[in-house]
Structure 1
Amino acid sequence: MRVGVLSAAHVHIDAFSCTLNRTDGVQFVGIYDDNEERGKKKAIEHETSYFSHLKDVLDQSDAVIICAENARHEELALAALEAKKHVLCEKPLSISTASAEKMAKKADTEQLVLATAFPMRFNTPALQLKEALANKIIGNILAFHGTNQGQCPGGWFVDGKLAGGGAVMDHTVHLLDMMRWLLKAEVKTVYAEIGSFLWSPYGIDDVGHIQLEFDNGVIADIDPSWSRPLGYPTWGGLTLRVTGTKGTIDFDGFAQIISSYDRQRTSWNYWGDDEYSWMIKGFIDAIYGRPTELASAWDGVAAVKVVEAAYLSAREGEVVELK
C-alpha cells in the first residue's frame, strides 16, 4: 500500500510519519506541503520524499493521510477522493458540519474510505474499558465525566480562520467519539460554557465545559481546556470516569509513563502502546474491507456537529438540541 501525507502542518505529522516508516506492507511515498520549508524539513527528518505539487503525490499514492490545518481538510480530502484515493484525515474532520458532511458524502459517492483520526479507539486501556462496559461490569451506564486538558499548542491552532476554533474545537472530539463508540448512541442535547482566560492574548477559546445528554438517557460532561501550564510534565492527558448502576470505572489513556527529572522540570515519558500504529493498520484493514475499530467519516461528522452545537450554546446561553 503506497501512502502519502498531505501537509506537515499538524503536530501529529511526526507520529504518522514514524508509523508509516515502520508498518509492514506500507510504502511511505512522501510528504506534500505548499509550505516548502516546512515540508522539506519533515521529509528530511523522516527520510522520505518532498512534493511541492499535490497532483504528484496523489499520482504516486493509493491512500493519503491529511495532516493539514483544520480549515484545509475539505479542500485536500475532496481532491484526494476525486483522484480515487482513500483518505485518513486528522481530527476534527472539518470546521463545520456542512463541510464535514460534504466530505463524507463525496467518499460515499466514490465508494472510498474516508476515515477520521481518532486513535483512542486503538488505545489498549480504551479497548479494555469497552469490553468491561459491554460485559456490564458496572451495570448500565448512567454518566461520563471526561477530561482532555492540555497545553496551548500555539501556531495555527490559535488562528481562528485556520483552526475553526480553539480548545473546544481541538480537544472535545476525542472524548466525544469515545463516548459514542462505547455507548453506540448519539448526542441529543448540548450545553456549553466557553471562554478565553489563560491564553487571552490569542483571542481564542482556551477553556470550556460541555454537558451532553445522549438519546439513551446517559449524561456526560467534557473539559477540553488548554489548562496545562508550559512547565507541566507533559502536553496533557485524557481521562474518563464511567458511572454505572453497579459501580464506577476510572480510565486514564496515558497512565503508562516513566517519570524523569532534571534541574528545570519533571517529564513523563510514555512507554505504552502506539495507538497510531494500530490506527494505520486499521485504515489499511478498512481499505481491504476487513473489520476494524477505525472511525468513519460519519463518526467525524457527528463529532463536528457536537462541537458546532457547543459554540452555539455558549453564544446563546441555551441548551442546543441536535437533529
Structure 2
Amino acid sequence: MRKLKIGMISFAHLHAVSYLQALAQRSDVELTGIADENKERVEPYIRQYGLPYYADYRELLAGDADAVIISSENARHAELTIAAAKRQKHVLCEKPLGLSKDEMRQMIAACEENGVQLMTSFPNRYIPMVVEAKQAIERGEIGRVVAVKATNKGEMIGGWFNDRTLSGGGAVIDHTVHVMDLLNWILRSQALEVYAESGSLFHGADIDDAGMVHVKFANGVIAALDASWSRTHPFPYKRDLTMEVIGTDGVISFDYFAQINEIYSATTDHAEWSYWGDNKDELLIDDFISCIRENRPVAITGEDGYNSTVIALAAYESIRLKKPVRL
C-alpha cells in the first residue's frame, strides 16, 4: 500500500503538535515537511522527526503531498486553503473555518472546483461519550430535546489569539464553534436566532475572555453556552467541555475531561489533572486519512465549518447591537 503523503502548513495553532504526533506514529503516512515562516516555532519538530522545512508554504504545495493540514492563524485559513486546493491537495483546516461568510464560501468552492476534500478540524465529534450521547438522543431515550446547557472554557493562550486581525475575536469565536458544531450535528436542526454577551473579566486584555451565547434552533431547542477563557493559571486543567441535554423524558450529561488523574506535587504551586481518556485528535486524523484513502466524503465538511462559524459571527453581531440576531 502506497504511503499517503501529508504536509503541514503553520504551527501557529497548538493543535498542530498533536496532529504531528498522530501522523508520525503511522506506518502508512509519509510526512513531506513543515511550512512555517517562523522557523524558530517549528525547529524542535523538524529536528525531532527529521522533516524538510519550508519558509514559504508555496514550496511545500509545489511538492507531491496528497493532503495538507493547516494550523495557521485564523485570518490565513482562506488564503492557505485556496492555494492548497489549486494544487489539488486535500485539506484539513483548523477551526474556525474562516472569519467571514464570503471567504468561507470561497474556500468551499475552491476545493469543490479542484476535486479535493475540505475537512474542518472538530475533533470533539470523535469523543466516545459524545458519540454515545448522540446515539441515545437519536434512539429517543430522553424524548424530545427541549434545551441544552454547555460549557467550553479554556485558558487565554495569548499571542495572536489576542489580535483580532489574526483571530477574528476572543473566547467567543474560539469556543463557540466547537460546541455549535456538536449541536448542529446532534440536533440536525438549523440555528435561527443568536443572542450573546461578552466581556473582559479575567485577564485584563482588550479582547473578550468571557462570553454567554444563546441560540434558538428551528426544532424549538434553546441552547446556552459559556464560551470563555476563564481557566486561569492555578486551575488544575486548562480547558473543559460539558453538555447537559434536557429532554421531555430525561437528561443526558457528559463531561469530557472527567477522565483524569489528580496529581499533588511539591514542584508546582497548585494541583494538576492528568488526562488519560481517548485522544480525539488521533481519532480525527485517523478518519481524515481513511476518507482520503477510501475516496469517501469526509465526516466534517467545509459546510459544517461554515455552519458553526456563522453562529459565532452572529454572536459578535448580537454583542455589537445588544439584541438578538436572526440567521
- Same fold per superposition (TM over 0.5): yes
CA contact (8 A) 1:166 1:205 kept: yes
Question: 4+ residue stretches of structure 1 with deviation over 3 A?
Answer: 288-293
Cross-structure match for 2:23: 20
Question: Alpha-carbon deviations, 1:73-119, whole Å to 9, x = none?
Answer: 11111110010000000111111222111111111222211110000
Cross-structure match for 2:302: 297
What SS does the corresponding residue of 2:223 show, helix, strand or coil? Answer: strand
Cross-structure match for 1:83: 87
What SS does the corresponding residue of 1:121 show, helix, strand or coil? Answer: helix
Cross-structure match for 1:312: 317
Note the 1:237-316 alignment, pairs <5 A: 237-263=240-266, 264-289=269-294, 294-316=299-321
CA contact (8 A) 2:147 2:221 kept: yes
Of residues 47, 54, 57 in structure 1, which corresponds to 2:57? 54
Residue 2 in structure 1 maps to residue 5 in structure 2: yes
Aligned length: 321
CA contact (8 A) 2:288 2:298 kept: no
What SS does the corresponding residue of 2:281 show, helix, strand or coil? Answer: helix
Note the 1:105-254 alignment, pairs <5 A: 105-200=109-204, 202-254=205-257
CA contact (8 A) 2:261 2:274 kept: yes
What SS does the corresponding residue of 1:19 show, helix, strand or coil? Answer: helix
Cross-structure match for 1:31: 34
Question: Alpha-carbon deviations, 1:98-142, whole Å to 9, x = none?
Answer: 211111111122221111000011111111111111111111111
Q: Which amino acid aligns with 1:10?
A: H
Normalising by structure 2, we get a TM-score of 0.95
Q: What's the offset of the Cα at 1:289? A: 4.8
CA distance in 2, matches of 1:184, 1:168: 22
Cross-structure match for 2:108: 104
CA contact (8 A) 1:113 1:286 kept: no
Question: Alpha-carbon deviations, 1:46-99, whole Å to 9, x = none?
Answer: 443322232332213110000100011111111100100000001111112221
CA distance in 1, matches of 2:258, 2:105: 35
CA 290–281 in structure 1, closer or farther in 2 if over 3 Å, else same: farther
Q: What's the offset of the Cα at 1:160? A: 0.9
Q: What's the offset of the Cα at 1:288? A: 3.8
Cross-structure match for 1:66: 70
What SS does the corresponding residue of 1:295 show, helix, strand or coil? Answer: coil
CA contact (8 A) 2:34 2:46 kept: yes
What SS does the corresponding residue of 1:268 show, helix, strand or coil? Answer: strand
CA distance in 2, matches of 1:23, 1:94: 30
Question: Alpha-carbon deviations, 1:24-52, whole Å to 9, x = none?
Answer: 41112221001122132332244433222
CA distance in 2, matches of 1:292, 1:246: 35
CA contact (8 A) 1:31 1:50 kept: yes
Structure 2: where are the runs of 5+ without partners?
Answer: none
CA distance in 1, matches of 2:244, 2:48: 39
Q: Which amino acid aligns with 1:4?
A: G
CA contact (8 A) 2:97 2:305 kept: yes
CA distance in 2, matches of 1:314, 1:150: 21
Q: Which amino acid aligns with 2:43?
A: K
CA 251–28 in structure 1, closer or farther in 2 if over 3 Å, else same: same
Normalising by structure 1, we get a TM-score of 0.96
Query: Which segment is superposed worse, 100-109 or 187-196?
Result: 100-109
CA distance in 1, matches of 2:294, 2:220: 33
CA distance in 2, matches of 1:313, 1:135: 35
Q: Which amino acid aligns with 1:173?
A: V
CA 24–274 in structure 1, closer or farther in 2 if over 3 Å, else same: farther
What SS does the corresponding residue of 1:254 show, helix, strand or coil? Answer: helix
Q: What's the offset of the Cα at 1:236? A: 1.3
